[in-house]
Amino acid sequence: MDPAQWLSSAITEYFVNPLAYPDKYPPYNPVNTAAFALAALAAAYLIYRGLGRLGIAIDQRFYRAIVPFILLGSAMRVVTDAGALPRAIVVGGTTLYPFVTPGIYILIFALAAASMAVAFVLGKVAKMDFSKTVSSLGWLLAATALLRLLPLFRNFYYFLFIIAIASAGLLAYHAFCIFTSRKRGLMHRLAVFGQCLDGGATFVGVSLLGYSEQHVVANYVFGVGTPLLFLILKIIFAFIVVEAIESELSQKEGQRAFVLLLITIFGLAPGMRDALRILAGV
């Protein structure tokens, strides 16, 4: 097999088949997980540089404006899981998967970018606040997706249990900050909450409802421990990574806000998706 054939075969096996045949292939494997992680890091760097060149301040207000788009992505993925959105669409003879990973991240980025473009124009023309406009558009889109799920909501007790677990992790972080005299704001706390939510949703789904874990790292943890161990490790990770960011980037507000936003996305997005999926029973 020549290199071109080998590359084509590898792409089909590790990237295309998990999207095209979800009943036969797990959605994540070591190869596509590593590739997605590298692509996410490269995209994050380019986005950060691009925002800087556009003169968009990356601060707490920007952070808060992006949060509803995280919820939008989670809700849209559950709408897809419920069968209300197609898993695949065909455009010009090419099959695309815009509503599952990694396509949904690209889609949500495009919607956020479009919202920023609208906010930028409105800021110039009507003197409207950039961050508030982006936030308002994001919440409008998120509400639209959530309304589509509303008739499916039924497992309220399990959902509240997940929220309680995440809140307990956040309270533990709050107590830690008080005990160590650390002043931390919304960005730090929401980053911690997102990671705890991810751990809590995985714990409840796998331990109590018979869901299976799809991600490679979590399955590795399950191989040496239990879903409870995964939850504990997620809480510990949240504390460590948020404090490390604050320690290393305390004097660089833009970089700190952006990295905290990334940590929030990679916790809150899958965590809210799993919590909403459990709530909707899909």
Question: Do 147 and 166 reside in the same domain of the chain?
Answer: no
Question: Do 167 and 280 reside in the same domain of the chain?
Answer: yes
Question: Do 97 and 157 reside in the same domain of the chain?
Answer: no
Per-residue pLDDT of 160-213, as tens digits, reads 999 999 999 999 999 999 999 988 989 999 999 999 999 999 999 988 888 877
Question: Do 198 and 246 reside in the same domain of the chain?
Answer: yes
* 247 vs 244: CA distance, rounded Å: 5
Q: Which domain holds residue 105?
A: 58-152
* 28 vs 153: CA distance, rounded Å: 27
- Closest by Cα among 148, 159, 135 to 75: 148
Residue at 144: amino acid letter: T
- Closest by Cα among 19, 62, 7 to 214: 19
Q: What are phi and psi of 212, to 5 degrees?
A: -110, 145
Question: Do 147 and 201 reside in the same domain of the chain?
Answer: no
Question: Do 123 and 24 reside in the same domain of the chain?
Answer: no
Question: Do 123 and 225 reside in the same domain of the chain?
Answer: no
Burial-class residue 21 by CB neighbours within 10 Å (0-12, 13-18, 19+): exposed
Q: Final residue of a domain: which of 152, 172, 195?
A: 152
> For residue 222, what pLDDT is reported?
66
Question: Do 49 and 67 reside in the same domain of the chain?
Answer: no
Residue 123: CB atoms within 10 A of its CB come to: 15
> For residue 211, what pLDDT is reported?
80
Question: Do 121 and 197 reside in the same domain of the chain?
Answer: no
Q: Final residue of a domain: which of 152, 169, 200?
A: 152
| Under 8 Å between Cβ of 69 and 138 | yes
Question: Do 169 and 227 reside in the same domain of the chain?
Answer: yes
Question: Do 145 and 165 reside in the same domain of the chain?
Answer: no
Residue at 29: amino acid letter: N
> For residue 279, what pLDDT is reported?
97
Q: Final residue of a domain: which of 9, 28, 55?
A: 55
* 146 vs 123: CA distance, rounded Å: 28
* 55 vs 132: CA distance, rounded Å: 16
Domain total in the chain: 3
* 175 vs 107: CA distance, rounded Å: 38
The pLDDT > 70 percentage for the chain reads 95
Quickly tell me which residue has 């833009």 as its tokens. Answer: 254
> For residue 10, what pLDDT is reported?
84
> For residue 178, what pLDDT is reported?
93
Question: Do 223 and 167 reside in the same domain of the chain?
Answer: yes
> For residue 34, what pLDDT is reported?
86
Q: CA neighbours within 13 Å on the CB side: how many for 213?
A: 24
Per-residue pLDDT of 17-26, as tens digits, reads 888 888 888 8
Residues of the chain with pLDDT under 50: none
* 234 vs 166: CA distance, rounded Å: 10
